[in-house]
A and B are shown apart, each in its own frame.
Chain A
Amino acid sequence: MLFDELLDKLITETTSLSLPGFSVELCLSATIVAMLMMRLVNLDRFVPASVTAILGAFAALIFTWLQFRQIGAADAVVSQKIFTGLLIHDTFTVFFRAFLSLFLLLTIALTSLTGIPDNEDGPDFYALLFGATIGLMIMASANSLLMLFVGVEMASVPSYAMVGFLKGRKPSSEAALKFVVYGAGAAGVMLYGISLIAGVLGTADMSLLAIRLGEAAAGGSGGLSDPELRAVSLGILLVMVGLAFKLSLVPFHFWCPDAFEGASAEVAGFLSVASKAGAFGLLVRFALALSGAPGTESLMIAFGVGIGFIACVTTTFGNLAAYSQTNLKRLLAYSTIAHAGYMVMAVSALLVMSNSPKAASMQIDINRSVEGLLFYLFVYLFMNLGAFAVVAIARNHTFSEEVDSFKGLVSQSPTLCIVMLICMFSLVGMPPFGGFFGKFTIFASAFKAGDVHWFMYVVVAFGALNTVFSLVYYLRVLKTMFMDARPADARPVPVQLGSLESIYVIALASFVFLLGVLPQFLSATAGAAAQSLAKF
């Protein structure tokens, strides 16, 4: 093939396939440029950056919707490699794009309601936010180990800056520094892991990993005594460490409470939802890329069980540590850790089931584990953002994020309190709120995975037990809001029904409720996204 033929092919592929498939990210990038340019010519005095950002995020949402329609119209599960196989464009990717653009829109709406950042810093803040979101989208669509790393870094670096965005506040800078140091370490470890995998298997293309792994295992014992497999296993382990850092799994969670406490509630909400979602998308892709290689099943099941063990430890630790917190953001940080644990249970079930000898007959259950994870993520978006939004709105009036500052809030702004109630009960996993169905699907798939390995029953038991544990500290917050008396010297929180803030939080809470009462719409979409990953 001649060079210009190659070039022609590349150009047609890029313009006809890759760029349309990448339209959402491009739209977000264009918005960043627009915001920065507008400041250059002082346009941002007349059109605030938040307006540009909302328009950009909205446009991104429309592009995602178009992609959804396109995929639905084809009436088949589309799985298209774009940019010469660096990224993958399928229903799963589009699902995450939709998730992230929706979340971006909601976060910007929240920041413009609460006034962090101010107009002067707006372009900077939103540029960081958009950049991180693009990184997260790349994480969810990565098809190459290289893009895996690029995505993680692209999402992380803006996050560091956002955590430290409250300039001049000491805890904020401290949190950002901790986050950076920890993140840099994790990134290094992950990069080493990637180099081990790519070095032994001779490819960075994730769709080839399972085949190469099978070839490497062929003839050997299939266990850790095989030096090649040993190196790959170490690589997988190190990549998992990097992802565990992003997901704040125990024992890589130390940054999380500090970062959440130091950052503003809006940023903490972003970190706890979007950043987790991107990492989960990546984890699912990574786990599936390594699954199903003949000869390595028992090794991969062992990985699945190990992740299950981490999940148990993480939820238990997160829930128990949340008990003694007096700062509401810190409490929610530990709750985030615990919820990451619940969601990792789905990944563990996924790994265990897709590597079982019966995997082909369990395809429906494998899909359901991904579906459960995606559903949970979506509900988690609304319930956790709702909780952080209430914290942020109340903070604007009381200048405090301590649990005690919420004492007896129900007498002053019942709307905020009822929204918090709905979000927290959903976080516990009580019907009729969406959190219940999410938890139910995850427990169900972990239970099903118990057919393959007994340890998954233990995982279910831990999940169930933790539901009870978590009740105590959520109820403590609700008790403070509903049952204690408002101290006489407390600053008033006059958020009336009908104000923009109340409409915003009510919208979030009604989604939490709707997803619990009518889960099938989202669960069908999530099912389609899971289907696009199916191997059998």
Chain B
Amino acid sequence: MNPEFLLSAIIFAPSVGALILALLIDSKNTEAMRLFAFATTAVTFGLTLVLWLGEFHADAPGMQLEVVEPWIPTWNVYYRLGVDGISMPLVLLTSLISMLSMGASWSITKHVKGYMVLFLLLETGMMGVFLALDFFLFYVFWEVMLLPMYFLIGVWGGPRKEYAAIKFFLYTLAGSVLMLVAMLMFYFSSSSSGAQADGFNLIRLAEAATAGTLLSPEMQITAFIMLFIGFAIKLPAFPVHTWLPDAHVEAPTPISMILAGVLLKMGGYGIIRIAFPLCPYGAQYLAYTMVAIGVISIIYGAFAALAQTDFKRLVAYSSVSHMGYVLLGLAVWKINEQTGETMNSEYWQMGLNGAMFQMIAHGISSAGMFFMVGVIYDRVHHRDLNKFGGLMGKMPLYGGLSAGLFFAGLGLPGLCGFIGEVFVVLSTWSYNPALAIVAASGVILTAGYILWAMQRVYLGAEYKGPHPEDLTPMNIREQSIAVTLLALAIFLGVYPVIMFNDMTPSISRMAKAAEAGYQQSADQLNQDEMQAAQR
């Protein structure tokens, strides 16, 4: 297959599937619709595997397989796609989680056709976000996700679905509007410097930022704050995370898997792909704030999770806590205030690697945890932690698989959650030992709420809640989803290099460019100060 076509195929295969599904398949034939939608996600997953194994070169740091077609020439908007070591693992994760959660969508029985169509459109939006290299295109895909997500939560969700759906929508839209303003800042500053044709080109904009010609240091701080708020909402980081527990709890199980597994990663991806490279000075200037927000998210999320009695809400808060590590790892960028040089650059890169790995690991473990919660909810129709118990005896396979996935979330060595956390905490030590200690102690809290939850749900003598007669063993479909996720959690925990190989070159390239960009802006500021002093 033509490699340039491959990226577009990955993005639009789900949409084409959605179109065929909407027009050609009879809406009474539920099983056919499910199988067709699953086949579409499987084909998409296959395409991303072809991309990863066949076309992607792990050792090349730059963008690969770039596609450039003019889209709106008068505004210099291009249909520009590409993949590098930062987006490749996330693309794989997206297609995998989409396929697995489509597999989990057999539990959806209401308006199946609408569900499947929206689900597939959502996948197009997610893929587009990770593959777009034009800021305008990125923004379009970013927004395209909102519409299906709103309806997926709002129509197929739980009792407070409408509240949760609109809250999710409002938060994200508020963030993306800020992103839009930042986008205009970049566009006009590059057009005033004569590089109008590159006004939305993320690669060229990043290069201009490295050379220090994109935005002045003050403007970088403004732009970075706007971008950061937009992405932090999605991440979600501490003060703007409140949409997440509602959305996760009310969404149907497969959509919770997508939300936790993929959508949250877009926040981290946006920070590392757009915010850092385009405003390195702003990023460094706010590094301490971000580290602090990350640490607060870790601790706050963990404490909040401890206090929950709703099983799904507990998992949701654990996401807040775990995504705090992502933010922490991204932000541990330490600078020598006198010279503007980056201190211990290799530790920052380690933090970036750890953050990226944490995103992948959390994508797998939290999707798995939500799926496990969904399996039991489908059977007994409640999620009250105090009304479970003894599931290990009634459903031994389910109990075992759940234990594995929850331990992966906990960060047990040998499972995927461990690698990311340990990388991040180690690199934080070089940034600020005190904060590293606080962040590390978050692991104890995590262990606390996960073990306590497991004790209340799986252990104990007998099941105390309603519908004990419905505790049937998992069927083959459920088993295969859970086994796949657990196998991946173990595999990534034992052999993380498979991801690091892809990520490291691109990440160190990004880090070096950001360091150079910071240096330029800092020099510029020093010169301005010196001139002011001479006057």
Contacts and interface: CB of A to CB of B under 8 A. Distances in A.
A482 B143 contact: no
Interface string A399-443: 000000000000000000000000001000011100011001101
Interface stretch (A10-18, A286-294, A313-321, A464-472): A464-472
Contacts of A451: 188
Secondary structure class of chain B's binding surface, majority of residues: helix
B181 A467 contact: no
A432 B173 contact: no
Interface in B159-218: 161-162, 166, 169-170, 173-174, 177-178, 180-181, 184-185, 187-188
B147 interface: yes
Interface string B140-161: 1001101100110011000001
A475 B150 CA distance: 10
Contacts of B185: 447
B162 A483 contact: yes
B298 to A, nearest CB: 29
Contacts of A437: 72
Given A431-B140, A520-B74, A523-B72, A468 B173 contact: yes
A467 B170 CA distance: 10
Contacts of A465: 177
17 contacts: A430-B146, A430-B147, A431-B144, A443-B184, A447-B185, A460-B184, A468-B170, A468-B174, A468-B177, A475-B150, A475-B169, A482-B155, A519-B72, A523-B74, A523-B75, A524-B74, A527-B74
A224 interface: no
Contact of A447 (B71, B177, B188): B188
Nearest to A467: B177
Contacts of A524: 74
B73 interface: yes
B106 interface: no
A457 to B, nearest CB: 9
Interface string A440-461: 1101100110010000000011
Contacts of B139: 431
A464 B180 contact: yes
Interface in A491-536: 519-520, 523-524, 527
Pick the most buried of B151, B154, B177, B178: most chain A CB atoms within 10 A of its CB.
B177
6 A-B pairs closest in CB distance: A431-B140, A464-B177, A447-B184, A431-B143, A468-B174, A520-B72
Contacts of B174: 468
A425 B148 CA distance: 12
Contacts of B162: 479, 483
B8 to A, nearest CB: 14
B57 to A, nearest CB: 32
Given A479-B162, A483-B154, A523-B72, A444 B187 contact: yes
Given A431-B143, A483-B162, A447 B181 contact: yes
B23 to A, nearest CB: 10
B170 A472 contact: yes
Nearest to B226: A464
Nearest to A460: B181
B51 to A, nearest CB: 24
Interface of A: 425, 430-432, 436-437, 440-441, 443-444, 447-448, 451, 460-461, 464-465, 467-468, 471-472, 475, 479, 482-483, 519-520, 523-524, 527
Contacts of A519: 72
Contacts of A448: 188
A527 B73 CA distance: 12
Contacts of A475: 150, 166, 169
Given A475-B169, A520-B74, A464 B181 contact: yes
Given A431-B144, A482-B154, A523-B72, A443 B170 contact: no
Contacts of B170: 468, 471-472
Contacts of B173: 467-468, 471
B184 A444 contact: yes
Contact of B140 (A432, A447, A461, A479): A432
A467 B172 CA distance: 12
Given A482-B151, A523-B74, A523-B75, 8 more contacts: A432-B144, A440-B180, A443-B180, A443-B181, A468-B170, A468-B174, A471-B166, A520-B71
A444 B161 CA distance: 35
Contacts of A447: 181, 184-185, 188
Centre residue among B73, B74, B187 by max chain A CB count within 10 A: B74
A430 B174 CA distance: 12
A21 B193 CA distance: 43
A68 to B, nearest CB: 19
Task: Give the most central of B144, B162, B180: most A CB within 10 Å.
Answer: B180
Contacts of B178: 464
Contacts of B151: 482
B143 A430 contact: yes
A142 B441 CA distance: 73
A373 to B, nearest CB: 15
Given A425-B147, A432-B144, A464-B177, A483 B155 contact: yes
Interface string B235-279: 000000000000000000000000000000000000000000000
Nearest to B141: A431
A520 B140 contact: no
Nearest to B150: A475
Contacts of A479: 154, 162, 166
A524 B162 CA distance: 41
B132 to A, nearest CB: 12
Contacts of A483: 154-155, 161-162
B533 to A, nearest CB: 28
